[in-house]
Structure 1
């Protein structure tokens, strides 16, 4: 380590956010531009370079965190970029979108705040692009083998880049008109501006990866036809089958899935629409679901000028510190976290009746009621105990002109015909079944990412893409793959 006493002498400082009043008036990223560079070398100094770095274990990519922390502390940005890109295809994505389980596994968290690993990662990635440390890496020669990747989210893009660099000819099929999957239309621009995505896609095009947008496999092109055309197929469509809320009044107008609402807002930012047809402007908004997607809806509704926004979380409000009995270090704890969107809602008092910022905890939706025109006007809720049982006498109502359902996803969509046409087996959970080599029951067809694992984090998605690429490379060449395989299909995050 560059400074053996850095973790004792330097306090944790995070990338500062722009003032709430300023950032809610635009869709730019919430952080102060250039605010990392003045502090990041000292923050990297806080890394202990401990003998058994649990940050490695907490990150499914196996990021070489102590190594690039040391290089950043010495301001050797080129070497830091090399070490970072050795395990992660898209650190500018994870540095902005990952909840950083690596920080929960940092040895410092035993008795003090963790190293700002996520901020260091983001600083390296951004510096790499500024200094051109991440040029395209086309293969020296082609293998003559072809691969189709279905889906252009982080799993599909990681698999495609790895296989292209190994010399295979890769085409990525994307159902939307633009590439990126949820990173394009599901993640708001205030969390990650889309130029980061475009820059990486241009790198992949320069390396030789081909892209086919506005193509639904199973409809625009038959799944069996695609399988016959390529030597291997990777299914990385994500878990897009959203969960429903079967309560009375669900049929009322004005109740929408989050993944209907968020893409429309993103299309306004892309210039496709002048205004979203499902806008929160002037409306009383209730978001059902306490996860990251719900927080994305919250930040979007605030920027659209909602009259009020409340977010319902069925779980009790977590504490500020980890429970060492149920979630001991180095597992990722369920603690009270204040996202940028929650900070904005709290400062602007979008939900005066909320428990904290804009959230109502331990709250379950009972029913919706509407007006004579069939439009939702109220949400009826009840408080619940730890086993989600209603507590008598706690029922109340919230005004609701717009309700957004952010309840997560159960598995891949089956409406496009892809699964049925190929005859793919499913698990009891509704995800794609696969063996230890990421292979499905159909020869030459592999499954990776949320479509097979279930809804997960972006770091797991990228790790799945890298690992399935190694499995496909082995299948195509018949010999050991030189591509890294950081995880197996049955690996899971650390837990008690």
Structure 2
């Protein structure tokens, strides 16, 4: 505790964002940088709380509580306050391989569990984290760190998302020869093609990949394990295999909804992935444009927000979002106490942009909306996708539901009488989450699946039923946060190293 008055005299502050109407004109990151003096002041708000729940990394109420990476948050907050940025970076890298990623895209469960947050606005942990990482790159402190010696052991990592990259860097650091296989044309998994450029500039991902290449990690792109190379062949050629394929199988809760076969209905990732390819200079044949379209995003969360932001940058005519859930409360309800992740109403970047661009108050296209603050409309059930004579999507028929009136023995909500309405729509994007990993690599290896369709591997051990084959990240735990993926990749590397060497010095 460097400043004895800390949060008593310093209010929480976060960096400003670029103007919404200006930032939708490009694909650049929307956050501004905060001056060093302000960052040091924010670090001083972290004041020796005694038991820092911010880095517990537990799961409460099915959500992360505290940092799954167990980042040494109070330590690097104090170092930033004291102006010791290089030492802060060293502390940050002890637990997190890629803080410039998590500092941009993580929802910050650490802040939800900040002790100060019980009574006051929490410490701005996320912004301090990304500022440390960015400063490290700017100053040239982040350099390749190849191992001093090689063990002679070889490991194949399948998938180059956050779990795969973390596992690969950790395994390489202790001397194993690591080869990462990626089915796309660029390394990064969801970091590259699952998160739009305005949230995570792809130059940052490429920069880490170049560092890892210099450390000795080999990357093979355009190579789908199970198709281009059989998983059995991979098992024979390497001493160990770590599966980090992600949970990429989309949910389709509308499979039996009338009109689902209309042209113009797409899964969110089928929209976002080729868009990023085009932003990066490619010419993807499956590119989907929202230009001039009336866009409906069904489903909330980060992916739904990304669909909104991307549609606006593609110059859509209009955009709204349907969410079947009830509107979250403005403050923590009694059944969602600290240090659980606060399930409260939040406005993300895409919602701000849509509210700035669209006139939800006065435009007759949005006459059905009761929430005029942003594109989201809650407690809406989609009943039918409407088609024109050519089979193209032309609209959606929907109704309102009431979650305060569950049906005995039935649905947890009741349809509101006489609430049915129709909206025009010629592009519907389904952001309904993911149903688990694509099974081919695991099936070829003989890996067992759990009841939810994920690769079966015990948390903390990560070993599957096949000796020498490990699984981590979303393919093991289901759709989750980038920070959980990095944490599991690191831990799987530790257990893989233990398997190869009989003991391990990885954390």
Cα deviations across residues 208-227 of structure 1 (Å, max 9, x unaligned)?
A: 00000000000100110000
Tell me what 2:164 maps to.
Answer: 156
Check conservation: 1:63, 1:87, Cα contact below 8 A: yes
Runs of 4+ in 1 over 6 A off after TM superposition: none
Tell me what 1:294 maps to.
Answer: 304
Alignment of structure 1 residues 13-92 onto 2, 5 Å: 13-32=13-32, 34-57=33-56, 58-92=66-100
Cα deviations across residues 159-202 of structure 1 (Å, max 9, x unaligned)?
A: 00000001100000000010000111111111011111011111
Residues 274, 446 of structure 1: CA spacing in aligned structure 2 closer, same or farther, 3 A cutoff? closer
Residues 376, 351 of structure 1: CA spacing in aligned structure 2 closer, same or farther, 3 A cutoff? farther
Tell me what 1:429 maps to.
Answer: 452
Residues 295, 225 of structure 1: CA spacing in aligned structure 2 closer, same or farther, 3 A cutoff? same
Tell me what 1:494 maps to.
Answer: none
Unaligned 5+ segments in structure 2 are: 57-65, 404-411
Deviation, structure 1 residue 392: 2.2
Check conservation: 2:162, 2:486, Cα contact below 8 A: yes
Please give the alpha-carbon distance, in whole angstroms, between the structure 2 residues aligned to 1:10 and 1:326. Answer: 30
Equivalent position SS for 2:241: strand
Please give the alpha-carbon distance, in whole angstroms, between the structure 2 residues aligned to 1:223 and 1:421. Answer: 6
Check conservation: 1:36, 1:119, Cα contact below 8 A: no
Which has the higher mean CA deviation after the structures are superposed, 79-88 or 126-135?
Answer: 126-135
Please give the alpha-carbon distance, in whole angstroms, between the structure 2 residues aligned to 1:347 and 1:49. Answer: 41
Residues 393, 69 of structure 1: CA spacing in aligned structure 2 closer, same or farther, 3 A cutoff? same
Deviation, structure 1 residue 268: 1.4
Please give the alpha-carbon distance, in whole angstroms, between the structure 2 residues aligned to 1:190 and 1:179. Answer: 18
Alignment of structure 1 residues 389-408 onto 2, 5 Å: 389-408=414-433
Please give the alpha-carbon distance, in whole angstroms, between the structure 2 residues aligned to 1:369 and 1:136. Answer: 55
- Say if 2:268 is the partner of 1:268: no
Please give the alpha-carbon distance, in whole angstroms, between the structure 2 residues aligned to 1:69 and 1:473. Answer: 32
Which has the higher mean CA deviation after the structures are superposed, 313-322 or 141-150?
Answer: 313-322
| TM-score w.r.t. length of structure 2 | 0.93
Unaligned 5+ segments in structure 1 are: 485-496
- Among candidates 302, 309, 324, match of residue 314 of structure 1: 324
Equivalent position SS for 2:381: strand
Tell me what 2:290 maps to.
Answer: 280
Equivalent position SS for 1:160: helix
- Among candidates 129, 139, 148, match of residue 121 of structure 1: 129
Check conservation: 2:274, 2:284, Cα contact below 8 A: no
Please give the alpha-carbon distance, in whole angstroms, between the structure 2 residues aligned to 1:438 and 1:5. Answer: 44
Residues 7, 276 of structure 1: CA spacing in aligned structure 2 closer, same or farther, 3 A cutoff? farther
- Say if 2:343 is the partner of 1:334: yes
Please give the alpha-carbon distance, in whole angstroms, between the structure 2 residues aligned to 1:285 and 1:441. Answer: 45
Cα deviations across residues 340-360 of structure 1 (Å, max 9, x unaligned)?
A: 111111122265534130000
Check conservation: 1:309, 1:351, Cα contact below 8 A: no
Which has the higher mean CA deviation after the structures are superposed, 62-71 or 338-347?
Answer: 338-347
Equivalent position SS for 2:287: coil
Please give the alpha-carbon distance, in whole angstroms, between the structure 1 residues aligned to 2:438 and 2:52. Answer: 39
Please give the alpha-carbon distance, in whole angstroms, between the structure 1 residues aligned to 2:415 and 2:215. Answer: 56
Please give the alpha-carbon distance, in whole angstroms, between the structure 1 residues aligned to 2:124 and 2:321. Answer: 28
Check conservation: 1:147, 1:168, Cα contact below 8 A: yes
Tell me what 1:375 maps to.
Answer: 392
Cα deviations across residues 269-314 of structure 1 (Å, max 9, x unaligned)?
A: 1000299731111110000101110000000001111111001111
Tell me what 1:459 maps to.
Answer: 483
- Among candidates 443, 449, 457, match of residue 420 of structure 1: 443
Deviation, structure 1 residue 377: 0.7
RMSD: 1.3
Equivalent position SS for 1:384: strand
Deviation, structure 1 residue 36: 4.7
Alignment of structure 1 residues 224-235 onto 2, 5 Å: 224-235=232-243
Please give the alpha-carbon distance, in whole angstroms, between the structure 2 residues aligned to 1:35 and 1:9. Answer: 19
Please give the alpha-carbon distance, in whole angstroms, between the structure 1 residues aligned to 2:275 and 2:359. Answer: 19
Equivalent position SS for 1:125: helix
Check conservation: 1:135, 1:203, Cα contact below 8 A: yes
Residues 196, 388 of structure 1: CA spacing in aligned structure 2 closer, same or farther, 3 A cutoff? farther
Please give the alpha-carbon distance, in whole angstroms, between the structure 2 residues aligned to 1:231 and 1:299. Answer: 44
- Say if 2:470 is the partner of 1:471: no
Deviation, structure 1 residue 482: 1.0
Tell me what 2:60 maps to.
Answer: none
Please give the alpha-carbon distance, in whole angstroms, between the structure 2 residues aligned to 1:405 and 1:280. Answer: 14
Tell me what 2:464 maps to.
Answer: 440
Check conservation: 1:345, 1:351, Cα contact below 8 A: no
Deviation, structure 1 residue 234: 0.3
Please give the alpha-carbon distance, in whole angstroms, between the structure 1 residues aligned to 2:179 and 2:474. Answer: 20
Please give the alpha-carbon distance, in whole angstroms, between the structure 1 residues aligned to 2:191 and 2:6. Answer: 35
Equivalent position SS for 1:61: coil
Deviation, structure 1 residue 49: 2.2
Residues 73, 377 of structure 1: CA spacing in aligned structure 2 closer, same or farther, 3 A cutoff? same
Check conservation: 2:248, 2:434, Cα contact below 8 A: yes
Residues 343, 276 of structure 1: CA spacing in aligned structure 2 closer, same or farther, 3 A cutoff? farther
Tell me what 2:506 maps to.
Answer: 483
Please give the alpha-carbon distance, in whole angstroms, between the structure 2 residues aligned to 1:461 and 1:277. Answer: 28
Which has the higher mean CA deviation after the structures are superposed, 380-389 or 189-198?
Answer: 380-389
